[in-house]
Amino acid sequence: MGKHGKYRALVASLALAALAGPAAADCRLALALGLDVSASMDAEEYTLQRNGLAAALLAPEVEAALMSTRPVELAVFEWSGGHRPPAMVLDWQDIESAADVVRAAEAVARSERSRNDMPTAMGRMLAFASDLFRRGPDCDRRVLDVSGDGIHNDGYPPKSAYKYFPLDGVTVNGLVVLGSEDDVLGFYRREVIHGPGAFVETAGSYADFERAMTRKLVREALTMAVSAGDARR
């Protein structure tokens, strides 16, 4: 390559660097999983949800998706209603290796139900998640994954939480367990999911939770912004 060719190549590389903007954060995804443990869920359903999430985290396709490129940060919490805040199952943890995935799955599998007698306070859950992300890692993407089988029935609604608590830049996806309440899927689509590419995954029952969560985690870990589909906002 001649002198002018080298110069053109240098200019082109500098232009590409300028278009790329500042260097990306080391963490590519902050993913928080919020599990509904309100009174609509019995003990057997809770066990299926807890074990289903642990098994989904260990699924080969989920492990591959979580470790496909740069690290992921993972948090898990249980939420319901009343004035007690949601309970952390796993605070922000680096997911950089298979051993990290196993540790996260073991923390979920060992967890004990925080409450079993509370209503469904979706607004308070979103307020808690806002603080969780505020104190969490600075990643390229931030995603809240909300699982549940019922509609909001306690405290301020999701629309108020989105108005008053800073969830800008956070995509909120839903995993709806069908069968407990009418129109729970419609409620999640209208009131819960939020942000670019937000979507809802469904499980036919808690026995189907592991399959649905596996699909959802792969999609969240691999996709920068899924196109419309179930997008709400």
In Å, what is the CA distance from 92 to each residue of 86, 179, 191, 210?
15, 32, 26, 22
pLDDT at res. 1: 53
pLDDT(23) > 50: no
- Which structure tokens are listed for 182? 């009418």
pLDDT(232) > 50: no
CA-angle at 222, arms to 22 and 145, nearest 5°: 100
12-16, 102-106, 204-208, 219-223, range with the lowest pLDDT: 12-16
pLDDT tens by residue, 75-91 = 999 999 887 789 999 99
Sequence-ordered alpha helix ranges (H) in 98-168: 98-110, 122-134, 158-164
pLDDT at res. 202: 97
Q: What is the model's pTM?
A: 0.84
pLDDT at res. 224: 56
Contact in structure between 220 and 175 (CB atoms under 8 Å):
no
Q: What is the mean pLDDT of residues 28-46?
A: 94
Share of the chain above pLDDT 70, in %: 85
pLDDT tens by residue, 144-191 = 999 999 999 889 999 999 999 989 899 999 999 998 778 999 999 999
In Å, what is the CA distance from 226 to each residue of 173, 176, 182, 195, 202?
11, 18, 27, 11, 17
Cβ neighbours for 98, distance < 8 A, ≥ 6 positions apart? 63, 67
Q: Give the number of other CB atoms < 10 A from CB of residue 31.
A: 22
pLDDT at res. 25: 58
Amino acid at 147: S
**How is the chain split into domains, by residue range?**
26-222
pLDDT at res. 2: 54
Position with higher pLDDT, 2 vs 163: 163
Which one-letter DSSP state was computed for residue 180?
A: S
Beta-bridge partners for 75: 32
pLDDT at res. 7: 34
Contact in structure between 158 and 191 (CB atoms under 8 Å):
yes
Q: What is the mean pLDDT of residues 208-225?
A: 89
What distance lies between CA 232 and its chain's CA centroid? 16
Position with higher pLDDT, 100 vs 226: 100
How does the average pLDDT of the chain come out, rounded?
86
Please identify which residue in the block is written with the tokens 């299926």.
48
Amino acid at 220: E
The CATH architecture that domain 26-222 belongs to is 3-Layer(aba) Sandwich (3.40)
Position with higher pLDDT, 169 vs 6: 169
pLDDT(201) > 50: yes
pLDDT(12) > 50: no
Contact in structure between 70 and 28 (CB atoms under 8 Å):
yes
25-29, 70-74, 183-187, 191-195, range with the lowest pLDDT: 25-29
pLDDT at res. 85: 85
What is the crossing angle of helices 209-222 and 43-58, to 10°?
A: 40
pLDDT(56) > 80: yes
CA-angle at 113, arms to 110 and 118, nearest 5°: 165
Amino acid at 48: L
